[in-house]
Amino acid sequence: MDAGVSSQVSLKSTFEADVRQIVTAKHVRMAAANDAVAGTQPSFVVEPGSEQELGKVLKLANAAGLAVIPRGGGTKLEWGNSPVRADVILSTARLNRVLEHPWADLTVSVEAGCTIANLQEALAKHGQRLALDALRPKSATVGGVLSTNDSGALRLRFGSLRDLVIGVTVALADGTLASSGGKVVKNVAGYDLPKLMTGAFGTLGVITRAIFRLHPLPKETRTVSCVTSNAAEAQQLVHAIQNSKLAHSALQICWGAGIQPRVDVLFEGTEAGLAAQVQQATAMMGAATIGGAGRDVWDLRQEICSAGKGGGEFAVAKFAILPAELAESLETIARLCRGELRWSVVVQATGIGWVRLKGAVAGVDSVLRQLRPDLEGRGGSLVLAQRTASARAFEAWGNAGDALPLMSAVKRQFDPLGTLNPGRFVGGI
């Protein structure tokens, strides 16, 4: 064993001993194979019991030069680039309480490790919800969805997490616990750090708690769906609905190998209000089905992003385009995949979509490599959420634009030693 390796080993064992002091031996363990992060194997898993403990562990790791991977439910660890280093998994599993739900204020304060499903269950007791249809809500946590900026179909009406989060507490790499924003919906005091942390992929700090604005659970919902003959027709329909006086909560196009493009629109509201809107929408859409007999059309994003079943290589990517270019982008995907791959896409009227590709590895990788420049050429983006084993080196994020040096400067200010999720984010951050 050479000197470098042995000093690294002793550093790690000192760290482990110190961490035991903080969180007790029960909550530190050696990492197993299934703790790997996008192909990189870490050494330890630490589960602090409070945000103070979490801050102390982070401070120790930072001082020891160990790389830290924050982890909530671990449902999106394949997203982003593989970390260039991974020593410690810092789990928020024990920070799972709903701290305060002043329902009459329509806000909630919750710890980062609380799952979305548990949060929604607590909120539903007072007829409220976090207006977010996150992926895998039973496992995904508040901290995880915030860090990955996950959002579903409800975004059209309620905005994404940046519009729902009103306060966060984060542990910075040096162990500082800092809060910003607050408990009130309207607040312009100081910089909006909740937005900075949303979608930062845990590279600036570890979110330990968040405060959200809430919305009432809808009294009634209706879905109207309509099968169209091609992507252009689907886009026309989406545009017509967007351009109407309808007050829909979600609007999407679903398409895939062997099926026709379908448009789904979701209405939420009072019985009386819905009846009128459904009638109007049905008139616009022609031959439409109402309700959701059988499979819920709003679960399609969950299926597209789910882990693979029964082997076979597949990839999942999130893409973003201008709403007026939905059809062209969908046709590009269809054309690139033609005959070679099984594919399915769901894209929302906001221009955010998800595509799943399955088939021969070379084919999957080649479609992604062609699709990104096409989308970026339209001012859009393609971000990898799941890739084939052979495409590990394929950069996950694509072009971050001319603000990348500024982003790197922000990273250096928050995490000068590169402790948090090194290399996982845009431009090697």
Partner 1 sequence: MDARTVDQRNAEARAAEAQNSAARSVDRRIFDELREIVGPRGLITSREELHTYECDGLTNFRVLPRAVLLPDSTEQVQKIIRVCHREKIPFVARGSGTGLSGGALPVENGIVISLTRMNKILEVDFANARVTVEPGVINLDVTNRVAPQGYFYAPDPSSQSVCSIGGNVAENSGGAHCLKYGFTTTHVLGLEVVLADGSVVHLGGKVLDVPGYDLMGVFVGSEGTLGIATKIILRIVKRPECVQTLLAAFPSTNEAGAAVSDMIAAGMLPAAIEMMDNLAIQAAEAAVHANYPNCGALLLVELDGPVAEVAALMAHVDEICRANKAWEIRVAQSDAERALVWKGRKAAFAAMGRISPNYIVQDGVIPRTELPNVMREIGQLSRDAGLRVANVFHAGDGNLHPLVLYDRRIAGQEEAAEGLSSKILELCIGAGGSITGEHGVGEDKKKMMSKMYSEPDLQTMQRVRCAFDPQQLSNPSKMFPRPRLCGEKPGEYVAHPLETAGIAERF
Interactions with partner 1, residue window 122-151 (CB under 8 A)? 127, 149
- 47 or 374, CB closer to partner 1? 374
Q: With contact defined as beta carbons under 8 Å apart, do 267 and 218 qualify? A: no
Q: Which range of residues in 25-33, 274-282, 302-310, 334-342 is near partner 1 by CB under 8 A?
A: 274-282
For the CB of residue 93, give the shortest distance to partner 1 in the complex, in Å.
25
**What value does the CA radius of gyration of the chain take, rounded to a whole number of Å?**
22
Q: Which range of residues in 60-68, 173-181, 252-260, 355-363 is near partner 1 by CB under 8 A?
A: 173-181
Q: Which range of residues in 209-217, 226-234, 285-293, 300-308 is near partner 1 by CB under 8 A?
A: 209-217
Q: With contact defined as beta carbons under 8 Å apart, do 186 and 166 qualify? A: no
Q: With contact defined as beta carbons under 8 Å apart, do 382 and 44 qualify? A: no
Q: Is 80 left (phi over 0), alpha (psi -120 to 50) or beta?
A: left
For the CB of residue 151, give the shortest distance to partner 1 in the complex, in Å.
8
From the list 50, 85, 163, 331, which residue makes contact with partner 1 (rule: CB under 8 A)? 163
For the CB of residue 192, give the shortest distance to partner 1 in the complex, in Å.
6
For the CB of residue 272, give the shortest distance to partner 1 in the complex, in Å.
4
Binding mask 229-268 for partner 1 (x = CB under 8 A): ----------x--xxxxxx---------------------
From the list 183, 221, 257, 417, which residue makes contact with partner 1 (rule: CB under 8 A)? 183
Q: Is position 324 an interface residue for partner 1 (rule: CB under 8 A)? A: yes
| Binding residues with partner 1: total (CB under 8 A) | 90
End-to-end CA distance of the chain: 32
CA–CA separation, 202 and 143 (whole Å): 9
Q: With contact defined as beta carbons under 8 Å apart, do 70 and 421 qualify? A: yes
Q: Is 418 left (phi over 0), alpha (psi -120 to 50) or beta?
A: left
What are the angstrom distances between the C-alpha of 406 and each of 22, 40, 166, 174, 427?
A: 36, 28, 24, 21, 11
From the list 160, 223, 344, 421, which residue makes contact with partner 1 (rule: CB under 8 A)? 160
For the CB of residue 403, give the shortest distance to partner 1 in the complex, in Å.
4
- 86 or 278, CB closer to partner 1? 278
- 107 or 141, CB closer to partner 1? 107
CA–CA separation, 222 and 250 (whole Å): 11
From the list 3, 5, 33, 188, which residue makes contact with partner 1 (rule: CB under 8 A)? 188
Q: Enumerate residues 385-424 that contact partner 1 by CB under 8 A.
A: 397-404, 406-407, 409-410, 412-414
CA–CA separation, 276 and 221 (whole Å): 13
For the CB of residue 15, give the shortest distance to partner 1 in the complex, in Å.
24
CA–CA separation, 251 and 259 (whole Å): 19
Q: Enumerate residues 88-127 that contact partner 1 by CB under 8 A.
A: 102-107, 127
CA–CA separation, 188 and 166 (whole Å): 10
From the list 29, 94, 162, 342, which residue makes contact with partner 1 (rule: CB under 8 A)? 162
- 308 or 405, CB closer to partner 1? 405
Q: Enumerate residues 352-391 that contact partner 1 by CB under 8 A.
A: 352, 378-381, 383
- 62 or 350, CB closer to partner 1? 350
From the list 50, 82, 179, 302, which residue makes contact with partner 1 (rule: CB under 8 A)? 179
From the list 3, 5, 33, 189, which residue makes contact with partner 1 (rule: CB under 8 A)? 189
For the CB of residue 57, give the shortest distance to partner 1 in the complex, in Å.
17
